[in-house]
Structure 1
């Protein structure tokens, strides 16, 4: 796929940050780590990766805004465009030596996500999409969501709340209703990769509550450009503003949404 200039900037930045993360991952037991809250960690690797991403993205597009997990928001001269970045999605996996984590970059234009990159450096999988141009893996394979038609044959992913998050009872309720009807639910601890896996047809759907926009901004575009359906858990809300998201392939979306939205 021939991407736009902005997409090429994003891919280059993700690869550069990924190289830094891989280098630190090889010596993960020696990383300096601090705790932001219960179950919420930040390491030297997160901060180094975000420094790289800010330099690359704002260096190439200095008028754009920037929102990053570790360093917060920078207002840009251009109020219509903003980078939304998670330099290391899956920090807990990373710090425990589990190779399931990603760099996530989205470009927002007038409130809509128009370009997205989710890079898994450990597996060298680069998922990317642009609005209206489809979703791709490693510049070779155009992705489509799964073609499974029945909930009973479907595998879903979610995140289980930790620390002080208040949505654990709702997630347990979701699981108690969904698991008897489906083929399984996975909890891998990296929302951007869960969404990328829905786009790639590896999962049929994904849902999660109490998130930040950098957790899923890129992933939601991957899913929609791969032919999936993206919506809020509470109908009528904007996922990016509400911090809740529900996605699935079109064949199981309605039934899946009904199960998760049931009060």
Structure 2
């Protein structure tokens, strides 16, 4: 795809994300009713569903015939352009009033993500990427920072409750290696926003063991176009699995995380 078409798709993503984000900002800290999906660790609110409906409507009106794959509504359409939509990434934070959540939208063609946006409605930060680069609020992003673990900030959601249940003490020991190896380890609660922060160089490494395509598609392009690295650990960002991402110049070979990439598996 040529860069100009990619930029046009990014503009559509921005419009959809900002429209949905405006509603989320208005209802933020209203303590909405929470339902659960797979288990009680997996919340959803009426605003997740309403946000996705808004996004789908805008995409269909601007790029008719697209395929839209959303966290709440599943897949619809059969077009060549596929949109990966997370209407609220960080629902658990949003539901209780913690200001770390976002709207994430990406467009893909074939095996390539060609446009994306991660929009933080609380801070009004618009992270946009296309095949010409990455920007935050119009300023070019440069993914640069620490070069080794002892100076780096790691953002992660590991371990998840399922991993603790399945792996027990072994899971906690692995997490302990991360905590003791990195200068700081944080679990802020939104995969897409974590990736946007690595793209900006505001954090150095991000790791996730069990994510869906709509969590990482936009963020992966943001990081790559900003000069950082995004590595899917299970072969493709379009399938559920793990990932590791880092700023440009980070010494992954010398990192405690290196074996995750070499073995191509989750911790």
Fold match by TM threshold 0.5: yes
Task: List per-residue Cα deviations over 1:65-103 (Å, max 9, x = no partner).
Answer: 000001110132x2x310000000000001111111100
Task: List per-residue Cα deviations over 1:2-34 (Å, max 9, x = no partner).
Answer: 9722111111111100011111114x22x2321
Task: List per-residue Cα deviations over 1:35-67 (Å, max 9, x = no partner).
Answer: 112211111111111111000011111111000
Q: Are 2:55 and 1:57 aligned?
A: no
TM-score normalised according to structure 2 size: 0.88
2:35 equivalent in structure 1? 34
1:114 equivalent in structure 2? 114
Aligned with 1:104: secondary structure?
strand
Q: CA deviation at 1:214?
A: 0.7
Q: CA deviation at 1:253?
A: 2.5
Number of residue pairs the alignment of both structures matches: 255
Aligned with 1:210: secondary structure?
strand
- Alignment of structure 1 residues 205-216 onto 2, 5 Å: 205-216=205-216
> Structure 1's 93 and 201: CA in aligned 2 closer, same or farther, altered over 3 A?
same
Tell whether the 8 Å contact from 1:106 to 1:117 is kept in structure 2 after alignment: yes
TM-score normalised according to structure 1 size: 0.89
- Aligned partners of 1:85 and 1:194: how far apart in 2? 16
- Alignment of structure 1 residues 135-146 onto 2, 5 Å: 135-139=134-138, 141-146=139-144
> Structure 1's 179 and 162: CA in aligned 2 closer, same or farther, altered over 3 A?
closer
> Structure 1's 145 and 174: CA in aligned 2 closer, same or farther, altered over 3 A?
farther
1:181 equivalent in structure 2? 181
Q: Unaligned stretches of 5+ in structure 2? A: none
1:81 equivalent in structure 2? 81
Aligned with 1:8: secondary structure?
helix
2:17 equivalent in structure 1? 14
Q: Are 2:218 and 1:218 aligned?
A: yes
> Structure 1's 211 and 35: CA in aligned 2 closer, same or farther, altered over 3 A?
same
Aligned with 2:210: secondary structure?
coil
Q: Unaligned stretches of 5+ in structure 1? A: none
Tell whether the 8 Å contact from 2:145 to 2:203 is kept in structure 1 after alignment: no
User: Cα RMSD between the aligned structures?
Assistant: 2.2
